[in-house]
């Protein structure tokens, strides 16, 4: 048995049940914005088979923007309405995981042998992070869109038998959002992190007719997706155990 909060029909734009990018943002992205302003971290990721529209949903195009640019745009709009009483700062980073290696999409791409691979570390308090990943302060939506354009131009994309513009890597676009204000004479800060993840699509070698480099990419894509599903499953079991323990204690 599976249940879903939403089911979107985005096949026929003339259909009365058609779900536009704007509707998807209102149903999913608006909750991310609320979480950020309350100081909570938030994560949205697109998962599914290759060619199913994950990158389009997350990024869209210049005419029909996806979740990532819409969330940034609404953040700036909300900031402009609150800036009289508070100060705000936004930083963004953009990375890809290609063949199990982490690379910064907002820096000149270096070969793996020349330091192009970043290390994943774990901070005792803040948790996992990517060492030496660049962070860029953004002051406007145009700043964000310039960085998105730069990162997307660097991302690894290739043609397969199932998708002419297949993403060959997983990407994580991160927004670090800081709010500052004074309570009397005491300064306060609230930090939140929004991580927007566009996963590469799961693939079957016979469907994509992948060979050579494409086959190696597919194997690594599927490997990491299986690992992700194991993590989600473990977190789900952990959450269920905690709920059962709480109900028994009560």
Q: At what angle do helices 67-82 and 30-37 cross, to 10 degrees?
A: 40
- Output the CA–CA distances (angstroms, integers) from residue 213 to 5, 41, 61, 62, in the order listed: 38, 36, 28, 31
Q: What tokens does 41 get?
A: 């971290």
Cite the active site residues: 51, 53-56, 198, 201
DSSP string, the chain: ----S---B-S-TTSTTB--HHHHIIIIIHHHHHHHHTT--EEEEE--BTTSSHHHHHTB-SSSB-HHHHHHHHHHHHHHHHTTT-EEEEEEEEEEEETTEEEETTS----GGGT-PBPEEEETTTEEEETT---EEE-SHHHHHHHHHHHHHHS-EE--SS-TTEE-SEEEEEEEEEEEEEETTEEEEEEEEEEEEEPPPB--HHHHT--THHHHHHHHHHHHHHHHHHHHHHHHHHHHHHHHHHHHH-
């Amino acid at each position: 048995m599976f249940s879903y909060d939403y089911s979107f029909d985005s096949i026929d734009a003339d259909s009365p049940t058609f779900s536009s990018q704007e509707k998807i943002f209102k149903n999913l992205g608006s909750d991310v914005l609320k979480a950020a302003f309350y100081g909570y971290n938030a994560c949205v990721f697109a998962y599914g088979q290759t060619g199913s529209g994950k990158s389009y949903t997350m990024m869209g195009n210049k005419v029909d923007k996806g979740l990532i640019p819409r969330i940034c745009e609404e953040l700036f709009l909300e900031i402009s309405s609150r800036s009289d009483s508070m100060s705000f700062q936004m930083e963004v980073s953009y990375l890809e995981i290609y063949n199990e290696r982490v690379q910064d999409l907002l820096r000149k791409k270096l070969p793996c042998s020349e330091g192009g691979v970043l290390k994943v570390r774990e901070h005792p308090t803040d948790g996992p992070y990517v060492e030496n990943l660049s962070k860029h302060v953004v002051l406007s939506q145009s700043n964000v869109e310039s960085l998105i354009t730069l990162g997307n131009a660097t991302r690894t994309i290739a043609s397969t038998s199932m998708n002419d513009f297949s993403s060959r890597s997983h990407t994580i676009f991160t927004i670090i959002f800081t709010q500052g204000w004074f309570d009397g004479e005491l300064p306060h800060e609230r930090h939140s992190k929004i991580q927007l993840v566009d996963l590469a699509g799961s693939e079957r070698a016979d469907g994509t007719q992948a060979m050579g480099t494409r086959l190696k990419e597919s194997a690594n894509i599927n490997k990491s997706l299986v690992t992700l599903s194991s993590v989600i499953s473990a977190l789900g079991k952990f959450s269920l155990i905690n709920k059962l323990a709480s109900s028994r204690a009560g």
